[in-house]
Structures are given as structure tokens and as C-alpha cells.
Amino acid sequence: MKIKKVGVVGAGQMGSGIAHVSALSGYEVLLHDLGAEQIDNGIATITGNLARQAGSGKISEKEMREAQDRLGGAPDMEDLASCDLVIEAASENEAIKRQVFSQLCPILNPGGLIATNTSSISITRLASATDRPGQFIGIHFMNPVPVMQLVELVRGIATEDTTFDLSKAFVESLGKTTAVSEDFPGFMVNRILLPMINEAIYTLYEGVGNVRSIDAAMRLGANHPMGPLQLADFIGLDTCLSIMQVLHDGLADSKYRPCPLLVKYVEAGWLGKKSGRGFYDYRGDEPVPTR
């Protein structure tokens, strides 16, 4: 088997990024979401990002046009039936992901592989919700997908060697570097990264420092490219909370308890950059700290 046609379920930031790099690397790509508007917005985002890459000389005009030609929308789940690989990039919510698989499995060709872009949820558990656990794997891209070089590959207990080998070859064909993680909550990157972000939020919650000071401390004191609170806003505070809940529930250790301030921001709908407010307010010309 060779992967030639890739389906992506979820046209948001992660899904559109995965579709972008796949189309640019020579794969025929179909992008699916709940409605035509979401699909159109996802394709428009990809088209704009490809144009920016061409404008800056990172890719040629020819590469841009060919990638755009290889990209299409899939308004109905049935449109993904002939895909060799379908990557689920829906919200970091297990119930939503299971619903996607329940709709996908009956129509996907028997040889088709299924991957999830989950950043924390058990691959083994998600695979059990499908009709092909041996052909199921975690392919966790980092955000933003066109820029970040690492992809975590996570095998479930039933993932077959052929599935792993094909997935690894696919990721490497995108110009990415793979890191293989065991199937534990948060895998590697988020097992380390999200507790650091959560601790930064506790530092804010307890009044040790304000938003600007905490971010400056980690940028200038630890040489991080972005402060942890700004990074949380870019990830999405709802996603940060979901990952911390997975870590807390899965590892049963109080050190992973989500900060109450993170919970409060999510309850307020202040989810970060995508909603206009998080630890910074993005509604003006310049981001302004909210605390």
C-alpha cells in the first residue's frame, strides 16, 4: 500500500495546517468539516498561507499553484471513502472524536488508515471506537503545522507495524521529524509543556507576577521564544484545560490539577487569540494583558 490520497476531518487551525503541508508535499487532499462555510474558510486560510510562502520565496509560484490544485473540499463524509489515510483533527474532546470515527468507519475503504491528531487522549482507547484498531495511529502535529518540524507518532496497543511504517514514511515525506511516544496521557510534548503553562497560570493566580512580567521572565530569563501565557492563548485555553484534565485524570497526580484561574477563563469564554480575549486582549491594535 502507498498513501496517495489524504482526508482531513476538521478545517480549523490544525486541520487546515495538516491539509496545507500534505497538499504541498504532493498528496491529493480532501478537507471535511461540519459545514460548507468551515470548509471554505479552511481552504481560504490555506490558500492565503501558500501565497505568503510564495511571496517570501519559501516555495515557488508553481509549487503554490500545484498545491492549490491538489486541495479540495469534502462536504459529505462519504467523499472521504477512497482516501488511503484520514487524519482526524477535530476538537480535543473524546466524545466528538468518537462521533467522527462512528461516521467515518462505515464508509472508509477497508484498507484505509485512520489517524488522530489528538494531543493527549489515549490512542488505544480511541482505536477501540473504530472497526480497525490495527490500522489506527496517533499522528500529533505541532501548531502551527507548516512551521513546526516535530510530529509525535503514537502507537496504540493494537497498531500494526505496517500502519506505523506507512505513517512514519508519510510524516517524513512532509519534511517533518518524527518522535515516537508511548501511549501515555499527554504523550511527550504536552506531558512537559502543559504543566509548565499551568504552573505559569498558578504563578499569575497567586499574585507572584502579572501577565507581562511572567511572560518576560520566561522569554528573557529562560530564552523561550514566547512567554507561557501568550503561548497558552495561541494554543487555546480550552485546549490547555482539556489536556490538563486528561493528565490529571489519567495519571491521578495532584501536580496536574488545572489551575482554577484557567478554569475561570474558559468558563468566561476567554479562550485566547481565537476568541479575542485570554490572558491578553486581542481586540485592539496591540495585545493588552487582562491581568
pLDDT higher than threshold 90 for residue 1? no
| Residue 49 pLDDT | 97
Read off the pLDDT of residues 155-214 as tens digits, 9 standing for 90 and up: 999 999 999 999 999 999 999 999 999 999 999 999 999 999 999 999 999 999 999 999
Is residue 182 within 8 Å of 154, Cβ to Cβ?
yes
Neighbouring CB atoms inside 10 A of 187's CB total 24
Write down all domains in the chain, each with its CATH number in brackets.
5-181 (3.40.50.720), 189-289 (1.10.1040.50)
- Nearest-angstrom CA–CA distance, 21 and 33: 18
Q: Please, where are the H alpha helices in the chain?
A: 13-24, 36-55, 61-70, 94-104, 123-127, 161-173, 189-205, 211-221, 228-235, 237-251, 260-267
Residue 113 is placed in which grid cell? 488508515
In this prediction the pTM is 0.92
Which residues, 6+ apart, have CB-to-CB distance to 218 below 8 Å?
200, 224, 227, 228
Q: Is 179 helix (H, G, I), strand (E, B) or coil?
A: strand
Q: CA-CA distance, 291 to 289, in Å (whole number)?
A: 6
Cβ-proximal residues to 110 (8 Å cutoff; 6+ apart), any chain: 132
Distance CA 200, CA 215 (A): 9
* Residues assigned a catalytic role: 119, 140, 152, 190
Average pLDDT, the chain: 97
pLDDT in tens, 49-78: 999 999 999 999 999 999 999 999 999 999
Express each pLDDT in 95-123 by its tens digit.
999 999 999 999 999 999 999 999 999 99
Dist CA 209 CA 85 (whole Å): 46
Cα end-to-end span (Å), the chain: 54
Question: Could you count the other beta carbons within 10 Å of the beta carbon of residue 191?
Answer: 17
Question: Closest by alpha carbon to 28, among 85, 78, 76?
Answer: 85
Residue 204's alpha-carbon distances to 51, 207, 261, 263, in angstroms, are 39, 5, 9, 13
DSSP state of 108: S
Containing 112, the helix (H) or strand (E) segment is none
